[in-house]
């Protein structure tokens, strides 16, 4: 039986060591198959088969974190649709020290801090001696971490003042001051050790502080504890910025909506909307739900969701997205999704899930850190005891150096170096309409050196347009108006193109009588007093002779990959209308950008050779035409056997085999289910140039990761040497740890300012 996946929001998880402790603690429980924890997203996914979820909640709460269920319980191996999390679990696990019963009546229950989809399972009891991992939506200075750091800072200042007046009590005063911060740190160390993480940063910090007190450095120990708490606070602020960069998208959706009922409107909470509800959106307002336009026409600014800078024209039948801004006209819209499943909600959910998917570099560093920390503990112990035992050196001096080495050796900065950059890269990509599903995909994109595109709907618009009108008799507008009259009752894509061109030119379409379709040939009817026929050149030639000049024009248009329709009136050729599915406006620029990066480009299409070659010539791309889905998959395999890393870009449906076979499958779409749920990545607003932007973002992110790793290891190496030769001590050691973590996180956050 496949494992079930349950997702949780974890409150107060702000550093890499937090994630490692939680992951280790939960993984040890019976029935838990796998655990994925994302620091930047503040989420945890547990794959389990019969595990006690209440015990999972208690274990996380015991470490000092808040845990809230998210409504995404799924069958891991089946792709079954999400089922909502349970509404409220009455077997609550309360924070440490909570030993009393609770009234679970929902009367007067405060849901303001709860997830809208499920009530909190665990909320640790607030305590001045907790990890201060209690989340809050307010400013950072109102958090538990900030309060604890301020209390310890004030106690340290008081200790310095009292020590000046009572020097004999100086050691005891500083011991009392450091106890305010060290007790919660030590408690966390014990809980982490019991949960399977004996070598946590809290453990190293506790040993270092107690050791410093033993050798008479209580004043310095108190200062180090304070600096440690300040460092944790800074980590939390930095992590919060990364987390909020993607969650801020949810703020784009308005809180209220105008529901149309019984000829009037009333204001309702946007989260109460259901599929099928009709809403009115006035000019300048944000659209509260994904939907389709019922009445009205105007432009919608989709930049907040897709990054598209030019407003998009909308009319009846067109799709609109929650969070976008209505332009100059009132629109009546029918909701097509629930609030929890609109485009923004899905993007946020998918990006947070992607942050739980670790990149290969991140997995390697995690494995390295598990061995690195015990090694540092052993090395610190050797530094503390070997010189005094073997060489007669002073015990206090070398114990002091060993304690400093413990703090220098903490792997926090190294462990956070990769996920912080990955999270920032995923977030900035999502803001620009580039949805990348996980660190592994983001890392693989850097290696791509060949991109294979589908044609229809990917390199082209996916719908034909009128490109040429050639009138043999009369003028172009008259020819187009007559053709539109014949097509007025048809829904064929070519008919829609002709009708759309006539509307764009503002032509009056005359009425038609006796209209009918001739299967495989064309359409006919009477307009005015003339009997008209509009159809293929072959069908037209069978009804009326075409001159050599007219036939040559048809041949030239066909050679350009265009479909030609011939209009006959009373047995005489009146003119030609040529149509083609035209390349996207930025397709040539997108292909050129990939080529400039040394990336090979190909078009893989099931369309005919002539049309494909014409489009390929316009775009300057290698063409393989007349392909079945299996042929596309085979070609992807051939490219990979040549040593190429291949990205396949398509619509996510008929290209599914090739998307699955490629190193990275990229779906092209406008926020649809296909674009969001299939392939490894999605270009939400359908720009070909965004494929190159996605690869460039990957390269920038991996460059940032390499900088972070160099920074983390470099600082530790410098302070290791300076500590051993006696130039630095406990203060610089803790700064080397927390300072490196903050620097690494801040460097990763630079990616958030990148223009993807």
**Sign of the C-alpha dihedral computed for residues 232, 235, 240 and 241 taken in this order:** positive
Residue 4 bridge partners (DSSP): 48, 75
Q: How far is residue 621's CA from residue 628's CA, in Å, rounded to a whole number?
A: 19
What is d(CA 256, CA 265) in angstroms, rounded to the nearest whole number?
12
Kindly name the residue from 454, 651, 680, 737 that is annotated as catalytic: 454
Whether the CB-CB separation of 669 and 683 falls below 8 Å is answered with yes
Which residues contact residue 594 at a Cβ distance below 8 angstroms, ignoring those fewer than 6 apart? 451, 601, 691, 692, 695
Tokens of 236: 């939390």
Q: Which tokens sit at 430?
A: 């999502």
Q: Is 109 exposed, middle or buried (0-12, 13-18, 19+ CB in 10 A)?
A: exposed
131 by DSSP, 3-state: which? coil
Q: Which of helix, strand or coil describes residue 624?
A: strand
Cα–Cα distance, 505 to 497 (Å, whole number): 12
Phi, psi at 40, each rounded to 5°: -65, -35
Alpha carbon of 498 to those of 171, 475, 489, 519, 578: distances in Å? 90, 16, 12, 19, 10
How would you label 550-571 residue by residue, b for 16+ Cβ within 10 Å and e otherwise? beebbeebbebbbbbbbbbbee
Determine whether 454 is an active site residue.
Answer: yes
Owner of token pair 């019976």: 30
What is d(CA 319, CA 690) in angstroms, rounded to the nearest whole number?
22
Distance in angstroms (rounded) separating the CA atoms of residues 697 and 650 = 20
- CA gap 218, 170 in Å, rounded: 9
Structure tokens at 10: 């974890």
Question: Strand runs (DSSP E) across 49-123, as ranges?
Answer: 66-75
Angle, CA 562 vertex, CA 558 and CA 563 arms, to 5°: 90
Nearest to 655 by CA among 605, 608, 694: 605
Q: How many other CB atoms sit within 10 Å of the CB of residue 674?
A: 18
23 Cβ partners below 8 Å, 6+ apart? 35, 36, 37, 44
The sign of the torsion formed by the CA atoms of 739, 740, 744, 747 equals: positive
Contact assessment for residue 27 and residue 39, using Cβ atoms and an 8 Å cutoff: no
Give the HSE-up count for residue 43: Cα atoms under 13 Å, Cβ half-sphere: 24
CA dist., res. 365 & res. 412, Å (int)? 11
Reported residue count of the chain is 756
Other CB atoms within a 10 A radius of the CB of residue 167 amount to 10
Q: How far apart are CA 205 and CA 223, in angstroms?
A: 12
Q: Which residues contact 327 (CB under 8 A, 6 or more apart)?
A: 283, 284, 298, 299, 300, 301, 311
Token pair of 9 as six digits: 């929001």
Tokens of 200: 């946590």
CA-to-CA dists, residue 94 to 10, 62, 64, 384, 643, angstroms: 14, 8, 10, 41, 55
432: phi then psi, degrees, rounded to nearest 5: -100, 10
Q: Which residues of 66-99 are buried (b: 16+ CB within 10 A; e: fewer)?
A: bbbbbbbbbebeeeeebeebeeebeebbbbbeee
Helix residue ranges, H only, 321-359: 343-356
Would you name the residues annotated as active-site residues? 454
């Amino acid at each position: 039986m496949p494992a079930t996946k349950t997702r949780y929001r974890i409150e107060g998880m702000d550093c890499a060591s937090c994630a490692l402790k939680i992951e280790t603690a939960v993984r040890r429980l019976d029935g838990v198959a796998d655990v994925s924890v994302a620091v930047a997203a503040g989420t945890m996914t547990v794959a389990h088969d019969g595990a006690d979820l209440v015990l999972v909640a208690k274990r996380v709460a015991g470490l000092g974190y808040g845990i809230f269920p998210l409504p995404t319980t799924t069958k891991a191996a089946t792709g079954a649709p999400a089922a909502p999390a349970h509404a409220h679990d009455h077997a609550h696990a309360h924070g440490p020290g909570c030993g009393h019963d609770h009234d679970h009546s929902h009367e007067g229950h405060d849901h303001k801090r709860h997830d809208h989809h499920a009530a909190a399972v665990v909320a640790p009891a607030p305590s001045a001696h907790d990890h201060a991992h209690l989340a809050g939506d307010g400013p950072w200075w109102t958090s538990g971490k900030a309060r604890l750091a301020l209390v310890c800072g004030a106690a340290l200042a008081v200790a310095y003042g009292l020590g000046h007046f009572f020097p004999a009590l100086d050691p005891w005063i500083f011991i009392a001051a450091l106890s305010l911060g060290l007790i919660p740190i030590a408690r966390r160390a014990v809980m982490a050790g019991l949960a399977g993480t004996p070598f946590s940063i809290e453990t190293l910090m506790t040993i270092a502080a107690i050791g410093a007190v033993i050798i008479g450095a209580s004043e310095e120990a108190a200062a180090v504890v304070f600096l440690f708490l300040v460092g944790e606070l800074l980590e939390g602020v930095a992590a919060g910025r990364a987390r909020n960069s993607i969650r801020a998208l949810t703020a784009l959706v308005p809180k209220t909506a105008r529901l149309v009922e019984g000829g009037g409107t009333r204001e309702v909470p946007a989260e109460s909307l259901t599929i099928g509800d009709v809403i009115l959106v006035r000019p300048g307002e944000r659209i509260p739900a994904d939907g389709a336009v019922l009445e009205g026409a105007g432009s919608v600014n989709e930049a907040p969701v897709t990054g598209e800078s030019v407003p998009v024209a909308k009319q009846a039948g067109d799709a609109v997205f929650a969070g976008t801004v209505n332009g100059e006209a009132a629109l009546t819209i029918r909701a097509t999704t629930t609030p929890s499943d609109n485009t923004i909600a899905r993007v946020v959910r998918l990006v947070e899930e992607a942050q739980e998917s670790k990149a290969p570099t991140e997995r390697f560093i995690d494995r390295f850190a598990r061995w690195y920390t015990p090694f540092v503990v052993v090395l610190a112990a050797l530094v503390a005891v070997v010189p005094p035992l073997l060489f007669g050196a002073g015990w206090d001096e070398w114990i002091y150096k060993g304690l400093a080495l413990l703090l220098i050796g903490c792997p926090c900065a190294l462990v956070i170096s990769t996920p912080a950059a990955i999270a920032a890269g995923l977030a900035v990509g999502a803001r620009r309409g580039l949805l990348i599903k996980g660190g592994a995909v983001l890392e693989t994109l850097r290696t791509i050196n060949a991109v294979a595109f589908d044609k229809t709907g990917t390199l082209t618009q996916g719908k034909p347009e009128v490109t040429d009108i050639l009138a043999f008799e009369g003028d172009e507008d008259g020819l187009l108006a007559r053709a539109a009259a014949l097509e007025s009752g048809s829904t064929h894509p070519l008919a829609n193109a002709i009708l759309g061109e006539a509307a764009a030119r503002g032509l009056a379409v005359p009425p038609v009588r006796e209209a009918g379709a001739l299967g495989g040939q064309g359409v006919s009817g009477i307009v005015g007093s003339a009997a008209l026929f509009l159809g293929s050149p072959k069908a037209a030639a069978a009804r009326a002779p075409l001159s050599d000049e007219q036939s040559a024009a048809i041949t030239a248009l066909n050679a350009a990959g265009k479909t030609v329709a011939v209009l006959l009136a009373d047995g005489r050729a009146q003119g030609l209308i040529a149509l083609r599915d035209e390349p996207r406006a930025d397709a040539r620029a997108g292909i050129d950008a990939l080529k400039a990066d040394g990336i090979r480009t190909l078009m893989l299409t099931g369309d005919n050779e002539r049309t494909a070659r014409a489009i390929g010539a316009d775009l300057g791309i290698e063409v393989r035409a007349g392909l079945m889905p299996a042929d596309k998959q085979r070609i992807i395999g051939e490219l990979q056997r040549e040593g190429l890393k291949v990205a396949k870009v398509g619509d996510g449906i008929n290209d599914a085999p090739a998307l699955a076979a490629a190193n990275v499958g990229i779906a092209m779409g406008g926020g649809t289910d296909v674009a969001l749920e299939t392939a490894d990545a999605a270009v939400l607003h359908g720009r070909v140039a965004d494929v190159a932007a996605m690869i460039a973002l990957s390269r920038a992110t991996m460059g940032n990761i390499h900088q972070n790793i160099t920074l983390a290891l470099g600082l530790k190496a410098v302070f290791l040497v300076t500590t051993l030769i006696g130039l630095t001590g406990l203060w610089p050691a803790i700064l080397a740890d927390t300072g490196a973590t903050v620097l690494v996180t801040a460097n990763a956050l630079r990616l958030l300012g990148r223009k993807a």
